[in-house]
Structure 1
Amino acid sequence: MTWLSELRTAALVGTARHPAPAPPVELGVLPPDGLSSEESLLEQAALADAATRAARRATTLDPADIPEPAPPDDAPLASGDAARLLDLLLTQPSVGLDLRNQLVADWLRFAEAAGQRVPHRLLPKLLELADSRSAVAEHLHPAIGVRGRWLEDLKSGVPAPDSPASADWTALKSADATAELERFRREHPAAAREQLASHWDTLAARERAAHLATFATNLGDEDEELLERALDEKAKSVRDVAAGLLDSLPASARAGRMAERLRPLLHLKGVLRKQFEIGLPPEPDGAALRDGIPADRRTGEPDRLARLDAVVRGAPLEVWTTASGRSPAATLALLKGETRVLETILSTAALRADLDWVRALLDIRTDLRLLNCLPRNEREDILIRHIKAGTDHPFSLVEPLRALPKPWGLHLAGTVLDQLFAKNGSSLAGMLADVLPAALPPEAAEQARRMLEQSDADAGRRRVLRDAVQYHSFRQSLTEAFP
């Protein structure tokens, strides 16, 4: 039995049953005197590990597989307290993991603003964290510098795309072509439209539908001609994409055709208390089918409400105010009880970002789709109004609050902190726990600290407030580390 085999046996069955062997004389080493059998085993295990590593031969690599050396990294290095704080966050975080990830992202933003880069020794740990945390990954550049990008390329095996979008998507396979066309569309919408139009006849229906869907980016009235062309396609998948995009264009010819279909369906009834009476569309003819109004089912009753949905989505919202002779807010009051129609109007107003309708709808419902249409300050003002009015259940405000850009304004932050001590405040705190620390502006940290000092037996609420205080304390250190 060899020395290594005897070592393994001793480790497996224990030194009481199989004493640790003596090292072979060829190694030219002897264990220290006075070691117990167990200590001798551990000493020799370390020796065996070093010996086997030293004896291992390097694998011969194909020269083509050897990566090019990293280019010089001339960006100023983050050093001193800035480097120590990042090292602490990556190796020995003193806060919870969610807070740690947020603070690492903050560190990367501070470094970008200061024009500094991550120390090379910390890049492996940082890139490992970014692999599993998108909030960190999206802020890596430019703070990781040239060496960081080089390491990213080695890890992925694919060079990071740094070339501008181009029209070369036409030579790619279907899925890749769609992705490249979408990139091209973001930067050059008119050229992308011309390219798709010129290749339209060479594409399969599946490709036409997928490529056309990329026009949701930078969609405008100038795209109408191509979308009308797509409505003439035999493939329903292509027509559906075109109709969905045209729903966003209330000045289009299709919107005018939908308006002509909607007007005869709207009637005001009542004398003292007027309400809309809404008819249902007839069976669609060929022109209606072309515009995206669904065909009747082959079996069972036709879904006439689905027809109405399609007409409402496609028609200009002004059809409603013209029929009522009132403002959007007053018109909505005439639709009380028409839940499905209101939902369709809401989704249409959000799709088109029609601010008159968005504001009127927000008076009756807090909806994330509507809020996202408004400028940031107005969104916050509406949420403050809804919180103070108490007309919405606090939990219905969670998603709108989570979706707001961070940090919040001081007034909103104070209002939310006050709400945490109201009815259902503990549950609300739990639902906002992962966003509240970063959502609070630095000026609100003191209010959170005072609230934490108040006597409160609710452990969950105290934990949320403690996280907020810890986060802002650490973030203040980052602020001071990056002059």
Structure 2
Amino acid sequence: MTWLAELRSSALVGTGRHAVPVPAAELKFRPPDGLSREELLLDQAAVADVVTRAARRPGIVDTAQLPDPAPPDDAPQASADAVRLLDLLLNQPPVGPELRTQLVTDWLQFAAASGRRVPHRLLPALLALADTKPAVAEHMQLVIGTRGRWLQGLRQQGSGPRGHAPKGSGPQDTGQRAATTYDWAELTTAGATAELERLRRSDPATARELLHAHWDTLSARERAAHVAAFAINLEPADEDLLENALDDKAKSVRDLAADLLGRLPTSARANRMATRLRPLLRVKGLLRKQFEIDLPPDPDAAALRDGIAQAPRAAEPDRLGRLDTIIRGAPLDVWTTVSGRSPAATLAMLDGEPRVIDALVVAAALRTDTEWVRALLDLRTDTRLLGCLPAAAREDAVLRHIRSGTAQSTALVPLLRELPRPWGAPLAAAVLELLTAKNGGQLTAMVSGFLPMALPPGTADQCRRLLQRSDDDAPRRRVFRDVVQYQSFRQSLTEAFQ
């Protein structure tokens, strides 16, 4: 056994069971006297490391396989202060993961606006972060320069085709790959649905053709999952596919198709629902006009096909539920035609009909009918309606919703998340008031992921003062601290790129 093998055995089983070997004579090395067995082992291990490294020979390099050298990069680099801040964010971030991602994205946007690029030495760390953070990948292309794009190409060649999704992979593996009718069929249900959703955003017609071509080969679970993707960029051209889906054997598929057709007020199903609704509506009263609404009869075969529930065998039929289905599926102008009035005046004739109002809220929100949305908002503050307003009007509506005193945390958070950032000062003040209230801890936790980016810079001092208060709510203090850290760091970025 060689000296090196003996040394490994001693390290493996311990010096108490295997004596430390004497160094090989050719090494011309003698350990100092007086060392313990453990010290002798460590001493020789250090020598062995040096010897094995020194004896290692370089491999033979095929120069034909080497990449072309990086082209020159003439774009000006960001300033020393800006580079220092990016280095800090990439290698020793002073903030949590979410704020770090946002601040790196902010840095990239500042750099793009000023025509500066990332320094070459930070490109590997930035590209590695972009692999897991889509927001970083989205904003870095304009500022990584020629050398950054060269390095991207090398990384992609080394890892094989990025975005390939073999059979059995999940939706996260589909990437931005352009699907063909062959490889789409090879994906799992989740992967194929994710690809359909991507196509619905960029090319709805291709997504429609893809699903139509494979419809007969899919299971009921797959058909339901894929039909649900058509809620993205739903358009009248989807009607034929959805109309055919009303005849599907699976109830889950039929229900989804009926729901999506209900969002198309000009569809044939909407017209059929209008035909069913009109005979149920009458206007009564001389001085104070009101609607009188009849309940629908038992559904025939055509009504069952359109999603109106049949009577259960052992219970009374849900005729109110049938009415809800008809109202949600019929065009809203049926009501204004019968009343001869505007949406707001028509709603005034439905006093005492909360269930009907609920169904109209659903219908108006699904179709994003702005006139009806605004009229319904005068009657009730519903988050589904608020989400339909244009971005410019949404913040004012959310502010009114908060000041109404009926805002609930779980319903308020999605609206706040989707608002343009930063918010205006009045909304910021109203939200901070909710967060600092005695029962504001739950809402604080729910908005913690985006609050630092949503509050305007002027609120940093207010959050500093809130931090100084005696408050045993650690999560709430953490959120205020994140606001201060984010806005302070972003101010440093602003100054570094001036």
Q: Name the TM-score, length of structure 1 as normaliser.
A: 0.77
| 1:79-98 superposed matches below 5 A | 80-98=80-98
Deviations 1:367-391 (A, max 9, x none): 4433332122321112222223323
2:107 matched to which residue of 1? 107
Mapped partners of 1:181, 1:427: distance in 2? 36
Mapped partners of 1:190, 1:213: distance in 2? 15
Is 1:408 aligned to 2:411, yes or no? no
Q: Tell me, what secondary structure is at the counterpart of 2:481?
A: helix
Q: Tell me, what secondary structure is at the counterpart of 2:436?
A: coil
2:492 matched to which residue of 1? 477
Identify which of 428, 435, 444 aligns with 1:429: 444
2:172 matched to which residue of 1? none
Deviations 1:328-370 (A, max 9, x none): 4565566677665544432322221111232344445554433
1:122 CA displacement: 3.5
1:255 CA displacement: 1.4
Mapped partners of 1:41, 1:338: distance in 2? 88
1:259 matched to which residue of 2? 274
| 1:50-65 superposed matches below 5 A | 50-52=50-52
1:317 CA displacement: 1.9
Identify which of 205, 229, 249 aligns with 2:264: 249
Q: Tell me, what secondary structure is at the counterpart of 2:458?
A: helix
Mapped partners of 1:241, 1:142: distance in 2? 42
Deviations 1:206-246 (A, max 9, x none): 58777665554443345545554555667766655543332
1:436 CA displacement: 1.5
1:452 CA displacement: 3.6
2:160 matched to which residue of 1? 157
**Gaps in structure 1 of 5+ consecutive residues:** none
1:169 matched to which residue of 2? 180
- Output the amino acid matched with 1:307: R
1:468 CA displacement: 0.9
Q: Tell me, what secondary structure is at the counterpart of 2:234?
A: coil
Q: Is the 8 A contact 1:83 1:118 kept in 2?
A: yes
Q: Is the 8 A contact 1:6 1:21 kept in 2?
A: yes
Identify which of 439, 447, 472 aligns with 2:454: 439
Of 106-115 and 30-39, more deviation after overlay is shown by: 30-39
Of 109-118 and 201-210, more deviation after overlay is shown by: 201-210
Q: Is the 8 A contact 2:223 2:253 kept in 1?
A: yes
Mapped partners of 2:331, 2:409: distance in 1? 34
Q: Is the 8 A contact 2:127 2:152 kept in 1?
A: no
1:296 CA displacement: 4.7
Mapped partners of 1:209, 1:122: distance in 2? 46
Mapped partners of 1:33, 1:482: distance in 2? 62
Identify which of 220, 223, 229 aligns with 2:235: 220
| 1:246-395 superposed matches below 5 A | 246-266=261-281, 278-297=293-312, 302-323=317-338, 327-329=342-344, 332=347, 341-363=356-378, 365-393=380-408
Q: Tell me, what secondary structure is at the counterpart of 1:292?
A: coil
Q: Name the TM-score, length of structure 2 as normaliser.
A: 0.75
Mapped partners of 2:90, 2:285: distance in 1? 68
**Gaps in structure 2 of 5+ consecutive residues:** 165-174
- Output the amino acid matched with 1:104: V
What is the percent sequence identity of the aligned residues? 61
1:449 matched to which residue of 2? 464
Of 85-94 and 27-36, more deviation after overlay is shown by: 27-36
Root-mean-square deviation (Å): 4.6
Q: Tell me, what secondary structure is at the counterpart of 2:384?
A: helix
2:170 matched to which residue of 1? none
Equivalences, count: 478
Q: Is the 8 A contact 2:3 2:24 kept in 1?
A: yes
Mapped partners of 2:59, 2:376: distance in 1? 68
Q: Tell me, what secondary structure is at the counterpart of 2:431?
A: helix
Q: Is the 8 A contact 1:181 1:211 kept in 2?
A: yes
